[in-house]
A = this chain, B = another copy of it.
Amino acid sequence: MNLKELSQILGLSQTTVSRALNGYPEVGEATRRRVQEAAAAHHYRPSTRAKGLATGRAMAIGHVIPVSTRHEIVNPVFADFIAGAGETYAAKGYDMILSVVDDDREARTYRDIAAKRNVDGILVHGPELNDPRIALLTELGLPFVVHGRASGVALPYSWLDVNNTRAFRRATDFLLDLGHRRIALVNGLEEMDFAARRRRGYEAALLARGVAPDPALMRSSEMTENYGHEAAAEMLRLPDPPTAFLTASMISALGVRRAIEDAGLKMGRDVSIVTHDDDLGYLRNGDGADPIFTATRSSVREAGRLAAAMLLELVADPDRTPRSRLMEATLVVGQSTGPAPQQAQAALSQRR
Contact = CB atoms under 8 A, between A and B. Distances in A.
Interface residues of A, number: 60
Interface in A46-90: 46-50, 52-53, 58, 60, 65, 67, 71-76, 78-80, 82-83, 86-87, 90
A53 B65 CA distance: 27
A115 B44 contact: yes
B96 A98 contact: yes
A142 to B, nearest CB: 13
A14 to B, nearest CB: 16
A117 B43 CA distance: 12
A74 B281 contact: yes
B87 A100 contact: yes
Interface string A220-264: 001111100000000000000000000000010010001001000
B100 A97 contact: no
B225 A284 contact: yes
Given A49-B53, A112-B45, A118 B95 contact: yes
B65 A225 contact: no
Contacts of A60: 97
A99 interface: yes
A227 to B, nearest CB: 9
A282 B75 contact: yes
A28 interface: no
Which of A49, A118, A251, A281 is packed against the most chain B CB atoms within 10 Å?
A: A49
Contacts of A282: 73-76, 222-225, 251
A334 to B, nearest CB: 13
Contacts of A284: 224-226
A116 B74 contact: no
A284 B324 CA distance: 36
A1 interface: yes
B43 A111 contact: yes
A95 B97 contact: yes
Nearest to A280: B76
The 6 A-B pairs with the shortest beta carbon distances in the complex, nearest first, are A86-B100, A45-B115, A73-B281, A48-B118, A49-B52, A79-B79
Given A65-B86, A74-B282, 20 more contacts: A43-B111, A47-B116, A48-B116, A49-B53, A49-B118, A72-B281, A72-B301, A73-B282, A74-B82, A74-B281, A76-B280, A76-B283, A82-B98, A95-B97, A96-B99, A222-B282, A223-B282, A224-B282, A224-B284, A225-B282
